[in-house]
Structure 1
Amino acid sequence: MKIDGRFWLTKKGQNFLGAGRIELLKQIDKTGSINAAAKEMKMSYKAAWERINGMNALSDQPLIDRLTGGRGGGGTKLTPYAHELITTFHRFNELHRQFISRFAEAGDDPERLARILNRTFLTTSARNQLPATLLSIEEFGLNGILTLSLTGSLTIQSIITLKSIRSMGLTIGCDLYVIIKSSDVSIVASPTQNDEAMNYLQGKVSRIESQDETDEIIFTLNDTNELIALMNPKDTKQLFEGMNAYALISPKHIIIGL
């Protein structure tokens, strides 16, 4: 048994944008023609036009511009607003997919799903909140070293006090959250031998945005998880979007949430 779900954006109680309609808009953008886009989608021109009309009727702004005459003989192009909607839909759809994937962790166990739902709505100021399962606890003086499994078969370690472990009632196999401040995440091109005690998570740099004197790095770990890192621009000169890299995190900077 698998938990699944489709994503739609609605307006005024009516379906506005779904995966098929977004694909139709993208095909119009690619071909410059509703007729050509309909053929690519293996649908009739009438059906394509009805979908476009339906979207335009609900949209705050027009989604297409009709071009007439000229050297190209006319055609159709998307408006800037349509491009914004496509970007917005893809972002919401990705968040929806991540939301559903968390449910999938429960399998056919409704009680585990209830626990996942409880931690899904955890509120904290830390921007990185990753669902995890506790694999092991190793006692080390007054502290415990927790080894945790993240969704997607990644593992990470956290060091917290034994008192915290006991007061939280942490046990092997329990579901929890790994919480990491974005300022405690560093993205590096390759691991170094001097940082063997650190967590290294392999992934890809998805986006780099500069804000004042800080660079915000969006780092994709796998299909489910991503991290946000805030770094000094002098430490990000070797990074570029699309490159494979590593997220460097101290076990002491990983907070555990239930």
Structure 2
Amino acid sequence: MELDILLSLQQRGRLFISPRRVRLLECIREQGSISRGAQAAGISYKSAWDAVKDMNELAGQPLVTSEAGGKGGGGARLTGYGERLLKIYGLLGQIERMAVDALQDESASLDSLLAVVSRFGLQTSARNQFFACVQSVGRRDLRHQVGLRLNGGAQLVADITERSCQRLGLAPGKEVLALVKAPWVTIETERSVPTPNRLPGTVGEVISGEQFNEVLLTLDQGGEICALRPVSEPVPARNERAFACFGPEQVILATLET
């Protein structure tokens, strides 16, 4: 099912911004005048002038400034506020598109904005991303040890600075995204020295390279984790049981400001 997004904003019950008005502003910026912008947008000069007047009035500050015509003709340009309005409208459009994508994907979690953004809008260099909920925050000198519960139920521990903990507003119940880079993950096949972050699973694939091997482990809790290991290290075979291990200091946390 294809859904068209037509985002409009109102102020005091009056239309402020719509796709048609956004197009007009873009054309005014490109053409350098209201008359030429109206022509490019496919509307009359009077409709364009009335729309600009309404937007300036509702915003409480000008989105477009114009100069009276003379020997060289009149001109118009977007103010800094007008430029920012176009940018925020574009961002809102991206958020709405993510919401539509989430609506049509039955496997997507709709429990929070972070869940939707991390699934449809967030790209990072860290191969391993886990949606989690903060369970505990314990202070250790100038650092904090943060207990996390992943969506599948597994437990993780992250070690971050006190300042980072305060900046992220971490507290029990807070939703976060836990990131772990592939080179930081080791793959073990035996229960050796206990580590705080030890996720069990089954080896799904091993991709061999000249300097590194990439191991994909299908986790018991659901999902997978990727480890990038030097070729000098032995790697388990496909379908072999194994554990993905990494230290608390190797977990990066991200969240949305609310």
- The alignment's TM-score, normalised by the length of structure 1, stands at 0.55
Q: Secondary structure at the match of 1:103?
A: coil
Q: Which residue of structure 2 lines up, in the alignment, with residue 220 of structure 1?
A: 218
Within a 5 Å distance, the mapping from 1:1-40 to structure 2 comes to none
Q: Which residue of structure 1 lines up, in the alignment, with residue 178 of structure 2?
A: 178
1:191 and 1:200 in contact (8 A); partners too: no
Let me know the Cα RMSD of the aligned residues. 2.2
1:197 Cα deviation after fit:
4.2
1:257 Cα deviation after fit:
1.1
Q: Structure 1: state its 5+ residue gaps.
A: 1-7, 9-95, 107-111
Identity of aligned residues (%): 25
1:198 Cα deviation after fit:
4.1
Superimposed CA distance per residue, residues 122-175 of structure 1 (whole angstroms, 9 cap, x where no aligned partner): 221111111111111111111111111112110110100111011111121111
Q: Structure 2: state its 5+ residue gaps.
A: 2-101
Superimposed CA distance per residue, residues 169-195 of structure 1 (whole angstroms, 9 cap, x where no aligned partner): 1121111111000000001101312xx
Q: Which residue of structure 2 lines up, in the alignment, with residue 233 of structure 1?
A: 231
Within a 5 Å distance, the mapping from 1:1-258 to structure 2 comes to 100-103=106-109, 106=111, 112=112, 114-120=113-119, 121-193=121-193, 196-222=194-220, 224-237=222-235, 239-258=236-255
2:203 and 2:218 in contact (8 A); partners too: yes
2:195 and 2:245 in contact (8 A); partners too: no
Structure ID, larger Rg: 2
Q: Using CA pairs below 8 Å that are at least 6 residues apart, which structure has the higher relative contact order?
A: 1
2:210 and 2:231 in contact (8 A); partners too: no
Superimposed CA distance per residue, residues 84-116 of structure 1 (whole angstroms, 9 cap, x where no aligned partner): xxxxxxxxxxxx9xx744416x2xxxxx3x332
- How many pairs were matched up? 153
Whole-Å separation in 1 of the counterparts to 2:107 and 2:134? 18
1:215 and 1:236 in contact (8 A); partners too: no
- The alignment's TM-score, normalised by the length of structure 2, stands at 0.55
